[in-house]
Amino acid sequence: MSRTLKLAAALAAAVAFATPVFAWTPTKSIEFVATAGPGGGTDNFARAVQAAIVKNKLIDQPIVVTNKAGGSGAEGYTYVKGMAGDPYKLVFGTSNAWQQPMVSKVAFKQTDFTPVAAMVQDEFLLWVKQDGPKDVKEYLAAMAAKNGAGKMGGAQSKDTDELLTRMIEKTANLKLIYIPFKSGAEAAVQLAGGHVDSHVNNPSESVGQWKGGTQRPLCVFNTQRLSDGPKVTATEGWHDIPTCQEAGLAIPLFQQPRTIWLPLKVTPEQVAFYVDLMKKVQATPEWKDYIEKSSQSQVFLTGDAFAKYMAEDSERVRKVAAEQGWLVGN
């Protein structure tokens, strides 16, 4: 109780002190580096933040979004890592900032960046083709009957999608073939064509196909159902999708944070400026619209809370990665 109180006090103090003039404000254009290709989840995230800032004139300087998707996003991280001391470069990513260095010999570590904030938690759902299994139990039975030949599509290798696939395998005690594609959108098209049996896309990656009646979600990897909203199809909305736990697949929570980082050697004033800017972004109607359209959950993790979250998530990823033999000595 006292912790909540302290937190509330700190928040109140932050709000009280955050409004006046800052010790630092940008004096030239800012580059948002999206560690995903155009149209990818991280790209949409960066562009939504850009749109919210530009439309509401939150700062006077122009913002440019550049895509550095090479090496599953490693290109963007490596680029910003080399910009130490430059407060005009922000890199937009996911949990891959700490996950990728664990499983791949890339040239960056999470400690090469100054964390700004995590602003969204994207959800994961289990999707099948429209005429596929009708619920999770039927799906698991069908996959078990395929005797190791059931196919799960996903974006990239040894990233969140494959991690979740391996967790499903372990929980349901079956074997799946994981097929990595360049993006979740590609995996969705492959499912619509019946080339794979399922995928675990984020809501925004497959909502178009759900509306169009080529695939549908079986369950969501969250402890509670997604929030109520307008119907997506004629009969169903996001809230009608059961959680995986209640549907018979005991993986309570699996989410992907969307994160923002500065290079190292920036001043605390500069970090504070961006933390405050992102808070303002979250209050804009454009941002609310983005959250609702993409069916993600809004969060705001910064400072110690963000660090704690990262430590916990790293531990969880490390466990699965170790079991699978993915860890590299980085």
Partner 1 sequence: MENFDLLLHGFSIALSVQHIALMVGGVLLGILVGVLPGLGAPNGVSLLLPITFGMQPVAAIILLSSIYWGALFGGSVTSILFNIPGEPSSVATTFDGYPMARSGRPTQALATAFGSAAFGALVGVVLITCLASWIAGVALQFGPAEYFAVYFLAFSSFIGVGGAPPIKTLVSLAIGFALAAVGMDTVSGSVRLTMGIDELVKGVNFVVAVMGLFGIGELLIAVEEEMDAKAVSSRIDWREVLRTIAGLPRHWMALLRSAAIGCWMGITPGGPTAASFMSYGIAKRLSPRRARFGQGEPEGIVAPETADHAAGTSALLPMLSLGIPGSATAAVMMGGLMIWGLNPGPALFTEQPDFVWGLIASMYLGNIVAVVLVMLTVPIFAALMRLPFFVIAPLIFIVCVVGAYSVSNSYLDVLLMMGFGVLGYLFKKLDYPLAPLVLAIVIGDKAEDAFRQSMLMSQGSLKIFVANPLVSTLVGLGFALLLVPPLLRAIGSWRRSSRREP
Quote the CA–CA distance of 5 and 178 in Å, as a whole number. Answer: 46
Q: Is 313 exposed, middle or buried (0-12, 13-18, 19+ CB in 10 A)?
A: middle
Smallest distance, partner 1 to C-beta of residue 204, A: 8
Q: How far apart are CA 316 and CA 294, in angstroms?
A: 26
Alpha-carbon gap, residue 221 to 305, rounded angstroms: 22
- In the chain, the DSSP E strands lie at 30-34, 63-67, 89-93, 113-123, 125-129, 150-155, 176-181, 198-199, 215-220, 255-263, 297-301
89 sits near partner 1 (criterion: CB under 8 A): no
Q: What is the Cα–Cα distance from 303 to 67, expressed in whole angstroms? A: 26
Does position 318 bind partner 1 by CB under 8 A? no
* Sign, CA torsion 295/300/305/306: positive
Residue 118 CB, shortest distance to partner 1, in Å, is 21
- What is the footprint of partner 1 within residues 3-42 (CB under 8 A)? 37-39
Among 48, 91, 172, 251, binds partner 1 (CB under 8 A): 48
The answer to whether 190 contacts partner 1 (rule: CB under 8 A) is yes
Give one DSSP letter per residue of 302-317, joined into a string.
-HHHHHHHHHHHHHHH
Q: Candidates 11-19, 131-139, 190-198, 298-306 — which segment interacts with partner 1 by CB under 8 A?
A: 190-198
**Amino acid code (one letter) for 318:** R
Q: Does 159 bind partner 1 (CB under 8 A)?
A: yes
Nearest to 73 by CA among 153, 157, 135: 157
CB-nearer residue toward partner 1: 55 or 316: 55
Q: Measured from the CB of residue 309, what is the shortest distance to partner 1 in angstroms? A: 24
> Which CB sits closer to partner 1, 39 or 252?
39
Report which DSSP code applies to 168.
H
Specify the stretch interacting with partner 1 by CB under 8 A; choose among 18-26, 64-72, 237-245, 308-316.
64-72
| 145 part of the interface to partner 1, by CB under 8 A | no
State in angstroms the smallest separation of the CB of 288 from partner 1: 13
Among 208, 229, 252, 285, binds partner 1 (CB under 8 A): 208
Of these, 30, 42, 68, 176, which contacts partner 1 (CB under 8 A)?
Answer: 68
Single out the segment in contact with partner 1 by CB under 8 A; choices: 60-68, 262-270, 305-313, 317-325.
60-68
Q: Which of residues 275-294 bind partner 1 (CB under 8 A)?
A: 289, 293
> Do 139 and 310 form a contact (C-beta atoms < 8 A)?
no
Q: Which residues contact 299 (CB under 8 A, 6 or more apart)?
A: 118, 119, 120, 121, 257
**Residue from 26, 30, 42, 43 in contact with partner 1 (CB under 8 A):** 43
Distance CA 198, CA 217 (A): 10
Q: Does 55 bind partner 1 (CB under 8 A)?
A: yes
> Nearest CA to 74 among 167, 158, 188?
158
| Residue 226: CB atoms within 10 Å | 20
Among 259, 35, 252, 318, which Cα is nearest to 156's?
35
Q: How far is the CB of 18 from partner 1 (least distance, A)?
A: 26
Nearer to partner 1 by C-beta: 117 or 155?
Answer: 155
When asked if residue 163 is in the footprint of partner 1 (CB under 8 A), the reply is no
- Contacts with partner 1 by CB under 8 A: the residue count is 62
Residue 192 sits in the site that holds partner 1 (CB under 8 A): yes
* Residues forming the site for partner 1 (CB under 8 A): 37-39, 43-44, 47-48, 50-51, 54-55, 62-68, 70-72, 74-75, 78-79, 103-107, 149, 151, 156-159, 177-182, 185-186, 188-190, 192-196, 204, 207-209, 211-214, 289, 293
